[in-house]
Amino acid sequence: MIKKTSLYNLHQKNGAKLVEFAGYHMPIQYKDGIIQEHKFTRSNCGIFDVSHMGQLFINGQENLTKDLENIFPVDLKNLNINQSKYSFLMNDSAGIHDDLIITKINDGYLIILNAACKYGDFKIIKEKLKDKYDLKLDDNLSLIAIQGPKAKIILNKCISGIDKLKFMHGGNFKFKNYEVFVTRSGYTGEDGFEVSIENKFAELFVEELLKLGTKLIGLGARDTLRLEAGLCLYGNDIDLDTTPIEANLKWAISKNRINTNYPGSKIIKDQIKSGVNKIRVGIKPETRIIARGNTKIFNQDNKEIGKITSGTFGPSVDHSIAMGYVENNYANSNTKLFLEVREKK
């Protein structure tokens, strides 16, 4: 059965085109369409229902920090309470099971997981932690992203105090009298916040935000926004066949963790030292033609050197945009590449 988020009725009321995504009925767009929704987020404030994503809570203290460092290549020891880091769940070959945001909270950690990966991740993490801790993938919580240059001013009217949060930091706040957990983060390239709120208050919360002049934004614009910002989509741009180093995400591996142990650590260390054969790059096609995922990439001598993993039209840059993997020696900016779309280059 396809699941509904707590905003399902609100989506319908706002004219959403609903599609199945990762087992949920999700809005791909509303009446304005992807381009207008994209531009509204860049200039004003867009509201995204991302309740399909996993909110995994793990309770524990110092030992948990140590055990989680054996799973994730991130410095958790020096993480402050309510501070977040972007990281990966990897297999022993440094392939990526999922990319995620991990936040240290009062009695443990909160990990935000991709919707399509969350049950698989839960199993892997639970097994690696050998049942020593209490893990909960919390279905009673919704997750609402508030994104755009006006996000801070508008959200602060509903949840007072969030304007003091620094990027990649969170905290406990109140919406009316209800407990919410807010982080300053997002997936659009804009300033923004993600609010974790009990399902039964989510609709009321979003209705308040809509009254303040915001608009609901669908997954279609979420994709064009993240691609313009150069952010990876799990399943397209990163997966079990790519490592974080190949994905050009070395910055997310904490420096003091490079010589320590975690799944795939040998390969990561080796790739940092000796380099990689393929690497993720951003690509700007010369025309308005879109080079979508799996488009082949050629060099000037007609040799195939890689493929596109995500491509779309960027409404803000008013241009076709893409990212993909190329052989390492073609990764410099201003390298001329050829893309094969509909049998033409």
Partner 1 sequence: MSEVKYSKEHEWLKLDGDVATIGITKHATEMLGDIVFAELPEKGTNVEKDGTAGVVESTKAASDVYTPVSGEVIDTNQAIVDDPSKINQDPENSAWFFKLKIKDPSEIETLMNKDDYDNFAKETSA
Strand order in the sheet with 178-183: 170-175, 178-183, 192-198, 141-147, 46-49, 215-216
- Which of 116, 252, 272, 290 forms a contact with partner 1 (CB under 8 A)? 290
What is the per-residue burial (b if ≥16 Cβ within 10 Å, else e) of 303-312? Answer: eebbbbbbbb
- Which of 169, 292, 296, 307 forms a contact with partner 1 (CB under 8 A)? 292
- Which of 312, 321, 325, 337 forms a contact with partner 1 (CB under 8 A)? 312
Whether 82 contacts 57, CB under 8 Å: no
Sole residue written with tokens 């509903």: 158
Q: What's the closest the beta carbon of residue 316 comes to partner 1, in angstroms?
A: 12
Whether 44 contacts 192, CB under 8 Å: no
Sign of the Cα torsion 92, 93, 94, 99 reads negative
CA distance 181 to 174: 8
Q: What's the closest the beta carbon of residue 318 comes to partner 1, in angstroms?
A: 9
Part in contact with partner 1 (CB under 8 A); list of ranges 81-89, 96-104, 236-244, 309-317: 309-317
Q: What's the closest the beta carbon of residue 294 comes to partner 1, in angstroms?
A: 13
Q: Rule CB under 8 A: which of 190-249 touch partner 1?
A: 220, 224
Part in contact with partner 1 (CB under 8 A); list of ranges 56-64, 162-170, 313-321, 323-331: 313-321
Residue 99 host element (H or E): strand 96-105
> Which of 193, 197, 145, 196 lies closest to 169 in space, CA to CA?
193
Judged by CB, which is closer to partner 1: 26, or 268? 26
Q: Rule CB under 8 A: which of 14-33 touch partner 1?
A: 28-29, 33
Judged by CB, which is closer to partner 1: 105, or 291? 291
Judged by CB, which is closer to partner 1: 5, or 29? 29
313 counts as binding partner 1 under rule CB under 8 A: yes
Judged by CB, which is closer to partner 1: 46, or 315? 315
35 counts as binding partner 1 under rule CB under 8 A: yes
Neighbours of 262 (CB within 10 A): 22
Number of residues that bind partner 1 (CB under 8 A): 17
Residue 298, token pair as written in the block: 């050629």
Residue 112, token pair as written in the block: 């935000």
Part in contact with partner 1 (CB under 8 A); list of ranges 48-56, 167-175, 282-290, 326-334: 282-290
CA distance 14 to 215: 9
289 counts as binding partner 1 under rule CB under 8 A: yes
- The residues binding partner 1 (CB under 8 A) are 28-29, 33-35, 220, 224, 287-290, 292, 312-313, 315, 320, 342
